């Protein structure tokens, strides 16, 4: 009996995506309905940020790096400021540190709410997109009140923050925290126990802890695979060691666990923001930094826990007012690298679900 001749064919999940992950092209090699191989083609959003930063002074690099990962621009500002402060041994005042933590955690929540909306949208539930954005508006209003911007802030500067919070920030922030805490039960009630959601997400894209560590995966996907590693605890920066918060982990490492992981992280962020608001001291908001910032020659790798993973900057200074090298590293870079391993043998609909659950933002990958 002759064998039926089958052929693999390639399908292009082209740069134009209905989902808002950014421009990423995935070349899927399919055998019938099953995916055999995924090849990501990136570089559509390459803006040569690292090369640009080599020709800018240190304070000028901060708005450039805002665009490095624009959904959590506060984190990008912060990690560069952290690297520069470590190079020049600058002590940041207390009030500035508290404000930084509040802004970072608010940004993390805003990013996770965006992720929630777009993940549900990718899988067909259109309404949670609007609910996530409704809460995100509260946070963006707070940012606009503070630094005038909703997306790329240029707020965390070397030595502190750019300007102090207005007096109506604290009551509005507490109100926002309260509203989001209440609405979390809405989000969980809508999708957590939904049989369709569970059928689409459970056992899909299982990432073992060994695979995650081998590929350098960080952030919620790593913790959802069971590895309890959070840079806020393992390598503390800023004043995170003063706050009480848990590091949730999940067991299975499938898409559903990554979903639950991020929802739990929103709750932890809410706790941190409340504690920071309670303990906010008076004082300066910026250390005395010389007008022309020339750190002594040296190298430092500053890393922080972003909502997508580990955000790192390897900063090399040669004593002049411009950095010699700014090597940036975003969490989505490694998380996208592990996608071909996760997607083998699944259907296209599952590839969409995995990409949504990994929370990949292309500007971090392409820079």
Partner 1 sequence: MTKDELREYIATRYSGKLTPLDLGRYELLYAADATGFKELARELYEDEQLKFDYLLNLGGIDTKERFEIIYNLGSIEKNHRIDIKLSLPYENAEVDSVQEIWPGANWFEREMWELYGINVRGHNNLKRFLLPDDWNQGHPMRKNWTAPDFIKLPEAGV
Partner 2 sequence: MTPIIASGELIVLFRWLHAQLASVGLPDIWVTVITYAVLGVFMFALLAVIALFLVWWERKISAHIQQRFGPMRVGWHGWYQTIMDALKLLQKEDIRVDTRDKPVFFWAPVLCFVAAFLAYVSIPFGDGLIVSDLNIGILYIIAVTTFTIISLLMAGWGSNNKYALLGGMRSAAQVVSYEVPMIASILTVILFSGSLSMVKIVESQTGHGIFNWFVFRVPFGPIAFLTYLITATAETNRTPFDIPEAEQELVAGYNVEYSGMKFAMFFLAEFVNMFTVSAIATTLFLGGWNGPFLPSWIWFLGKTLFVVFILMLFRWTYPRLRVDQLMEFSWKFLVPVTFANLILAGWMKYAKWHW
> Which residues contribute to the site for partner 1 (CB under 8 A)?
42-43, 46, 48, 50-51, 54, 57, 86-87, 89, 213-217, 227, 229, 234-235, 292, 297-303, 310, 312, 314, 316, 318, 321, 324-325, 327, 329, 333-334, 337-338, 366-367
Q: Which does 318 bind (CB under 5 to 8 A by kind): partner 2, partner 1, none?
A: partner 1
Name the binder of 105 from partner 2, partner 1, none, CB < 5-8 A by kind. none
Q: 93 to 122, contacts with partner 2 by CB under 8 A?
A: 120-122
Which two structure tokens, joined as six digits, stand for 198?
A: 């569970």
Touching partner 2, residues 8-27 (CB under 8 A): 11, 13, 18-19
Site map 310..349 versus partner 2, x via CB under 8 A: -------------------------------------xxx
Among 48, 126, 151, 214, which residue sits at the site for partner 2 (rule: CB under 8 A)?
Answer: 126
**Positions 32 through 71 that interact with partner 2 (CB under 8 A):** 33
| Cα–Cα dist 24/366, whole Å | 10
Q: Which is nearer to partner 1, 123 or 358 (CB)?
A: 358
CB of 135 to partner 1, least distance (A): 32
Q: Which of these ranges, 87-95, 127-135, 142-150, 173-181, lies near partner 2 under the rule CB under 8 A?
A: 127-135
Contact by Cβ (8 Å): 168, 144: no
From partner 1, partner 2, none, which one binds at residue 352 (CB under 5 to 8 Å depending on kind)? Answer: partner 2
Distance CA 71, CA 165 (A): 21
Select from 44, 70, 131, 169 the one that contacts partner 2 (CB under 8 A).
131
27 vs 211, beta carbon nearer partner 2: 27
- 3 state SS for the chain: CCCCCCCCEEEEECCCCCCCCCCCEEEEEEECCEEEEEEEECCCCCCCHHHHHCCCCHHHHHHHHHHHHHHHHHHHHHHHHHHHHHHHCCCCCHHHHHHHHHHHHHHHHHHHHHHHHHHHHHCCCCHHHHHHHHHHHHHHHHHHHHHCCCCCCCCEECCEECCCCCCCHHHHHHHHHHHHHHHHHHHHHHHCCCHHHHHHHCCCCCCCHHHHHHCCCCCHHHHHCCCCCCHHHHCCCCCHHHCCCCCCCCCCCCHHHHHHHHHHHHHHHHHHHHHHHHCCCCCCCECCCCCCCCCCCEEEEEEEECCCCEEEEEEEECCCCCCCEEEEECHHHHHHHCHHHHCCCCCHHHHHHHHHHHCCCHHHHHC
148 contact, one of partner 2, partner 1, none, CB 5-8 Å limit per kind: none
Q: Which does 43 bind (CB under 5 to 8 A by kind): partner 2, partner 1, none?
A: partner 1
**Contacted entry of partner 1, partner 2, none for residue 190, CB cut-off 5 to 8 Å set by kind:** partner 2
- Nearer to partner 1 (CB atom), residue 128 or residue 323: 323
Query: Could you say whether residue 127 binds partner 2 (CB under 8 A)?
Result: yes
Q: Which residues bind partner 2 (CB under 8 A)?
A: 11, 13, 18-19, 33, 120-127, 129-131, 134, 190-191, 194, 196-197, 199-200, 347-350, 352
């Amino acid at each position: 009996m002759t064998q039926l001749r089958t052929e693999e064919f390639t399908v292009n999940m082209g740069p134009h995506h209905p989902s808002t992950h950014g421009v990423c092209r995935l070349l899927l090699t399919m055998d019938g309905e099953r995916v055999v191989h995924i090849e990501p083609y990136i570089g559509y959003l390459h803006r040569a940020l690292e090369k640009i930063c080599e020709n800018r002074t240190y304070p000028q690099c901060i708005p450039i790096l805002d665009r490095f990962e624009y959904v959590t621009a506060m984190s990008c500002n912060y990690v560069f400021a952290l690297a520069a402060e470590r190079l020049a041994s600058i002590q940041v005042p207390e009030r500035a540190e508290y404000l930084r933590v509040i802004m970072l955690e608010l940004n993390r929540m805003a990013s996770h709410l965006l992720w929630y909306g777009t993940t549900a949208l990718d899988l067909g539930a259109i309404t949670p997109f609007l609910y996530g954005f409704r809460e995100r508006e509260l946070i963006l209003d707070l940012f606009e009140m503070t630094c005038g911007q909703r997306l790329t802030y240029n707020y965390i500067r070397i030595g502190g923050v750019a300007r102090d919070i207005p007096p109506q920030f604290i009551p509005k922030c507490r109100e926002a925290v309260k509203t989001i805490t209440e609405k979390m039960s809405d989000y969980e009630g809508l999708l957590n126990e939904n049989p369709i959601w569970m059928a689409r997400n459970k056992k899909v894209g299982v990432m073992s802890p060994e695979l995650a560590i081998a590929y350098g995966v960080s952030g919620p996907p790593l913790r959802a695979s069971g590895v309890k590693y959070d840079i806020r605890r393992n390598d503390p920066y800023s004043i995170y060691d003063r706050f009480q918060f848990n590091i949730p982990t999940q067991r299975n490492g499938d898409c559903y666990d990554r979903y639950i992981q991020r929802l739990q992280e929103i709750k932890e962020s809410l706790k941190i923001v409340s504690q920071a608001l309670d303990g906010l001291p008076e004082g300066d908001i910026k250390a005395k930094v010389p007008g022309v910032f020339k750190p002594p020659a040296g190298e430092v790798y500053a890393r922080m826990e972003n909502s997508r993973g580990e955000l790192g900057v390897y900063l090399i200074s040669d004593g002049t007012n411009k950095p010699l090298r700014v090597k940036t590293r975003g969490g989505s870079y490694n998380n996208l690298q592990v996608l071909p391993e996760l997607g083998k043998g699944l259907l296209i609909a599952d590839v969409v679900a995995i990409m949504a659950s990994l929370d990949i933002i292309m500007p971090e990958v392409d820079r």
